[in-house]
Structure 1
Amino acid sequence: MNPAHIDHQQILAFLSVAQTGSFSAAAQQLHLTQPAVSKRVALLESQVGAALFERLARQVVLTEFGAQFLPAAQKVRQAMDDLAAVTLDSSRPLSGRLAIALSHYVGLHLLPSVLETFSRRYPDVVLDLRFMDSEAAIDAVAQGSVRLAYGTLGHSAPSTVETTPLWQEKLVPLVALRHAEQHTPTLHELAQHLPVIAPAAHTSTRQSIDIWLNALQIRPLAVIEVNQLDSIALLVGTGIGWGVLPETLQNSDLARLPDTALAPPERQLGLITQKNRPTHRLAQAFMDCVTESQ
């Protein structure tokens, strides 16, 4: 294999398919046709002399060689991004594409005004927003697939990642209003009759909730796992369960449970970047917009 024959666009196609697990999803992400993505991956496989993906009925997975090739491909993309960051003419108007990973909650509740400000201020910049769990967003920054991310800051992060707290939120226990019309149950009473609706066990928000409930010696009747907090609020409003959610999600369909001996947990949300990477003008412009909104 001659590295000089490998095209950067082939690397991008490979990484996008590896990330999304689908040629069609990669085509949407790269704003290409599916045949174009397939052709670029096929050309790359021809150059490296081995299959990178195993095409299954409804899924595309990395081959053993593809998994070994992945870290090197990520380094190539990161090097190209860093090269662009240090050579971009600072006097030119901002243009190009900026990939940002966002948790659903941050994107929908904390950054809408920032997204509008940025898009108005820099109309020639394409925001490639990738909504994912905060934990996946941290991994995406660590791997170099995105330059920056905004989400919940977990209890730990890879040593290559730097986190900057921007928002502090208090979580509160909520139940459907109909369950509190005549008598607002205590958390202990509720836990004996209804399941808790909570994020997946691997998320930092869920871990904070579990630590709090354990400290109160509360064992939920059952756990319904739903990752998106807006979806949890909607389900809690139906009355099928209760939840522990940010105060911002309390609405007319939900009632707050009485205070407990131990205050509910809090969580930090903020910026996630990779340490020691050159600052890209597009990324810096977006971060500046976030700072202005604080």
Structure 2
Amino acid sequence: MDTQSLRAFLAVAEQESFSLAAEQLHLTQPAVSKRVATLEGQIGARLFDRIGRHIGLTEAGHTLLPRARQILVMFDDTQRALTNLNGSIGGSLSLATSHHVGLHRLPPLLKHFTRQHPAVRLDLRFLDSEQAYQQVLDGALELAVVTLAPSPSKELVTVPIWVDQLHFVCGNEHPLASARELPLSALSDFDAVLPGDLTFTRGIVTETFAQEGLRVRVSMSTNYLETLKMMVSIGLGWSVLPETMIDDELHRLPIHHRPIERPLGYLFHRGRTLSNAASSMLRLLDAERTAEQDMAHE
């Protein structure tokens, strides 16, 4: 079985769609279908059930899926190891980032990197931090720069660079906006708008309340902090947001509690051979980390 057919199979399995897989691979849909059909012919089994518009893995497909990922990770790792021998910095670098980090932290670093290494094709993907973690674990990504998990997998190298202090905020006309000082428990009586239930940030917030024996009354969720800011500003509930996002549209709540912090940084798979391009990106990120530490000690 060839790697092109395996990549087509993986793309269809992950997207649950031949058309979306074709977009991801920059191919036509018939080309993807042909590659999957070739693979099915080679193994002598159907890999997908096509019922109406729904695409689902067959038993053979479920069996092949983890093995296909392992084969491609080993193939790509071997290619990188051989390419690295000549010392050149080129090829493709697959890098994921969350929307907040990508908009507020990474632009200067990415600008410097692309100017320094014009031969590198940057495959930048905006993903939720949790999705990026999983794709690095699966071998689909070389690097991710995201919110770090409270308990990361031992298979990953995770390095914090920045610390976001999350501040309690509400709209200027919210009932809580008139208070001069508030205990954390006061927030439990009002609706909150927070990131999704399975996000690292949501977990950090709810754990903070749980340590005080409190619960959070979440009325609405979204994983986009810019959308959260809008929802708070029009009075839909209180939330927590980084310092960089707080402006005149929001009221910072005087909560008598230590600040909630979330670490932001990079991660890669411990068992992966990094490309020269990825290693160069890590040097930039490490330099940024050193600069942040120096500023903190001033």
The verdict on a shared fold, with TM-score over 0.5 as the criterion, is: yes
Distance change in 2, residues 1:244/1:115 (3 Å): same
Q: Distance in 1 between matches of 2:168 and 2:227?
A: 15
What one-letter code is carried by the residue in structure 1 that aligns with 2:159? T
Q: Output one character per residue of 1:27-56: Cα deviation in whole Å (capped at 9) or x when no partner.
A: 222222222222211211221112222234
Q: Distance in 2 between matches of 1:57 and 1:117?
A: 48
Q: Output one character per residue of 1:189-244: Cα deviation in whole Å (capped at 9) or x when no partner.
A: 5543x420111222221111012223445444443121222221121122111111
Within 5 Å, give how 1:163-178 maps onto structure 2. 163-178=158-173
The aligned residue for residue 204 of structure 1 is 200
Q: Secondary structure at the match of 2:123?
A: strand
Q: Secondary structure at the match of 1:88?
A: helix
**How much does 1:251 deviate?**
2.0
Is the 1:180–1:255 contact (alpha carbons within 8 Å) kept by the matching residues of 2?
Answer: no
Q: Secondary structure at the match of 1:178?
A: coil
The aligned residue for residue 240 of structure 1 is 236
The aligned residue for residue 4 of structure 2 is 9
Is the 1:54–1:61 contact (alpha carbons within 8 Å) kept by the matching residues of 2?
Answer: yes
- Correspondence 1:148 to 2:148: no
Distance change in 2, residues 1:8/1:222 (3 Å): closer
Within 5 Å, give how 1:93-112 maps onto structure 2. 93-112=88-107
Structure 2 stretches lacking a partner, 5+ long: 290-298
**How much does 1:253 deviate?**
0.8
2:255 equivalent among 241, 254, 259: 259
2:124 equivalent among 126, 129, 135: 129
**How much does 1:275 deviate?**
0.9
Within 5 Å, give how 1:222-237 maps onto structure 2. 222-237=218-233
**How much does 1:182 deviate?**
7.2
Q: Distance in 1 between matches of 2:249 and 2:198?
A: 28
**How much does 1:188 deviate?**
4.8
Q: Output one character per residue of 1:236-259: Cα deviation in whole Å (capped at 9) or x when no partner.
A: 122111111222221221110003
Is the 1:51–1:66 contact (alpha carbons within 8 Å) kept by the matching residues of 2?
Answer: yes
Q: Distance in 1 between matches of 2:229 and 2:27?
A: 36
1:36 equivalent among 4, 19, 31: 31
Is the 1:103–1:131 contact (alpha carbons within 8 Å) kept by the matching residues of 2?
Answer: yes
Q: Distance in 1 between matches of 2:139 and 2:17?
A: 20
Is the 1:18–1:61 contact (alpha carbons within 8 Å) kept by the matching residues of 2?
Answer: yes
Distance change in 2, residues 1:197/1:255 (3 Å): same
RMSD (Å) for aligned C-alpha atoms: 2.3
Q: Distance in 2 between matches of 1:122 and 1:29?
A: 24
TM-score norm. by structure 1 comes to 0.88
The aligned residue for residue 115 of structure 2 is 120
Q: Output one character per residue of 1:47-88: Cα deviation in whole Å (capped at 9) or x when no partner.
A: 111222223444433222212111111111111111112111
Distance change in 2, residues 1:55/1:248 (3 Å): farther
**How much does 1:123 deviate?**
2.7
Q: Distance in 2 between matches of 1:165 and 1:159?
A: 15
Q: Output one character per residue of 1:129-186: Cα deviation in whole Å (capped at 9) or x when no partner.
A: 2222212211111111111111111122222112111111111111112337972474
Count residues with an aligned counterpart.
Answer: 287
TM-score norm. by structure 2 comes to 0.87
Is the 2:96–2:143 contact (alpha carbons within 8 Å) kept by the matching residues of 1?
Answer: yes
The aligned residue for residue 161 of structure 1 is 156
Q: Distance in 2 between matches of 1:59 and 1:251?
A: 45
The aligned residue for residue 3 of structure 1 is none
Q: Which runs of 4+ in 1 moved over 6 A?
A: none
Q: Secondary structure at the match of 1:32?
A: coil
Distance change in 2, residues 1:143/1:181 (3 Å): closer
Q: Distance in 2 between matches of 1:255 and 1:180?
A: 11
- Correspondence 1:139 to 2:139: no
Q: Secondary structure at the match of 1:150?
A: strand
Structure 1 stretches lacking a partner, 5+ long: 1-5
Is the 1:101–1:131 contact (alpha carbons within 8 Å) kept by the matching residues of 2?
Answer: yes
**How much does 1:282 deviate?**
1.8
